[in-house]
Amino acid sequence: MTFMEENLDYYAQANGLRDVNSYLKLILGMGAILICVASPGLLAPLFILVTLSAITLVFAKIPVRVYSELLLIPATFAGLSVIVILFLSGGGQPLLTFSIADFPLTVTTGSANLALLELVRTFGGMCGLFFIALTTPMVEIFSAMHTLRVPPVLIDLSMLIYHFIFVFIGQAIAIHNAQTIRQGYTSFRRSLDSMAMLGAMLFIRAWKEAEDLIIAMDSRCYDGKLELPGRQNPPKPVAIASTALYLGLCISVAIMTSTIVPFR
């Protein structure tokens, strides 16, 4: 597959939950994120991480490779955050004590519990976000924003920005591939020159793409407002009940396991 065929919107348009009402998918994803953030215990975010990943892979039929690569995105940030929390937050009994260059470091039960909580919160919340991104096309999200009375100028700007993100990434990949074929990254100095040229070409092409878009919009009688499709599949009773049951189960797990911690 080419890059443009593998972007998130491709899977949002072709996934197994494509015909499910987009408002239900937004409620499910946003509800899962809020529960992860608000949960005082780590079992509820962990439950959301496992179950929502299973829903995305099994019911939405998203390839495991794609989903795994997406989960690697927050891995670095989450890992660094966990390390900082482990050694810079305190409370509880010491679990591990050592020193680096005569600087003492201690991991306590409180810091270990907090680090694990932040880790599962991060990945649980990202699973909710990826569920929305992989199952709901952006045009339906923009339509939902319109229904929620978000100012039209913000919706239009969001639509244009989203469009140009993929245009510029595609242009950057094409230029980078051409430079690589011409040995543009064989040394550090040549890499710097190539990157500078890539940035300059992207700026020029961005300007040209914007002018072409303005001409195309004017030729179609653009009046300052981008139209959004109003078609929306009505929610099915089974889908409504499933969404409510899942979120209720997540809330129940968060309440019943709020005091459970792995280290005491």
Tokens coding 110 = 């409180």
Q: What φ, ψ does residue 144 adopt, rounded to 5°?
A: -65, -40
pLDDT value at residue 50: 95
Q: E strands, the chain, where?
A: 94-100, 103-108
Q: How many Cα neighbours within 13 Å face the side chain of 259?
A: 1
Q: Are strands 94-100 and 103-108 parallel, antiparallel or unpaired?
A: antiparallel
What's the whole-model pTM score? 0.81
CA-to-CA dists, residue 47 to 27, 33, 69, 121, angstroms = 18, 12, 21, 10
Q: H or E segment at 51?
A: helix 43-54
21-30, 88-97, 132-141, 164-173 — most confident range: 21-30
In the block, residue with structure tokens 């591939």: 177
| Residues 222-259 pLDDT 10s | 766 666 665 667 888 998 999 999 999 999 999 999 88
| Residues 115-161 pLDDT 10s | 899 999 999 999 999 999 999 888 888 888 888 888 888 888 888 88
CA–CA gap between residue 93 and residue 109 (Å, rounded): 5
